[in-house]
Amino acid sequence: MEFHTYLTYFLALFIGISLGLTGGGGSILTVPVLVYAAKIEPVIATAYSLFIVGLTSLSGAANYYKKKLVDIRMAVIFALPAFITVWLMRKFVIHAIPDTITQIGNFTLTKDLFLMLFFALIMLISGCKMICGEKKEVKEAQKVKYGLVLLNGIVVGVLSGLVGAGGGFLIVPALVFFMSLPMHKAVGTSLLIIAINSLIGFTGDVLNLPNIDWSFLLIFSAIASLGLFFGVYLNQYINSEKLKKIFGYFVFIMALVIIIEELFL
């Protein structure tokens, strides 16, 4: 095995640990790791990320389900518009984007550049959400706002379809404020939604990507899942809120690095 392969698997462990420690957000690093460490093209990396994030999130959701911290009904209600949208994005939209989107003078906006810059934008938003922290959870029970749930599910589906990220930074607040779930239960339910969206979204890529490296995907996912359970264990002894802020700064800086890498280097 080459050095970059060992580095990729080590970073897979880090992604899983960060996901277990912070309760979400770790998967945002999957695409940068696949692109810059594993040397995989951005379009393929976003597809691989959906599989990895989906399988890892499913492991996390199973752990939360054992603790009765997953609301299956709410997960299905939210996931339905989200996974339909993400599947359509992966099947018909992402592979239909032209290799050269536009050219202005000496600047050429390619498909790969667009995806990486858009992903960097999502990382900036995700980092800011982790740094600023979530709003206090709703204590009084409210009616489920189905219209907002539908809209949020579609937005999550579009973002997941484009960049291969789980969208937990959008799903958790939506479950708390639009579906009145307690925060701890929202995190477990979010993992199940992410797993459904990501794995179904990945099926939209299967026919478009005939040479999928299944052994790499399964090894990466297994290592990330192992890291997730280790992160959940460590979470008992570490202040998760402070850690989430530190991780948020890290994600924010990584986003700036991607922008500099893609535009200036």
Q: Which pLDDT score is estimated for 70?
A: 92
Lowest mean pLDDT among 63-67, 111-115, 232-236: 232-236
Across residues 15-25, what is the average pLDDT? 75
Q: Can you give the pLDDT at residue 143? A: 74
Q: Which residues contact 246 (CB under 8 A, 6 or more apart)?
A: none
Determine the average pLDDT of the residues in 216-225: 94
Ranking 17-26, 126-135, 164-173, 248-257 by mean pLDDT, the lowest is 17-26
146-163 helix and 183-206 helix, angle to the nearest 10 degrees: 50
pLDDT attached to residue 251: 86
Please report, for the chain, the start and end positions of each structural domain, with discontinuous segments joined by +: 3-264
Residue 138 has pLDDT above 60, yes or no: no
Overall pTM surpassing 0.75 (yes/no):
yes
Gap between the Cα atoms of 116 and 259, Å rounded: 8
pLDDT at position 223, please? Answer: 95
Calculate the alpha carbon distances from 55 to 139, 156, 173, 202 in Å: 32, 18, 22, 11
- What's the pLDDT tens digit per position in 74-101? 899 999 999 899 889 988 898 899 999 9
36-71 confidence digits (pLDDT tens): 999 999 989 999 999 998 998 898 889 889 989 899
**Tokens (6 digits) for 234:** 């460590």
The predicted pLDDT at position 71 comes to 92
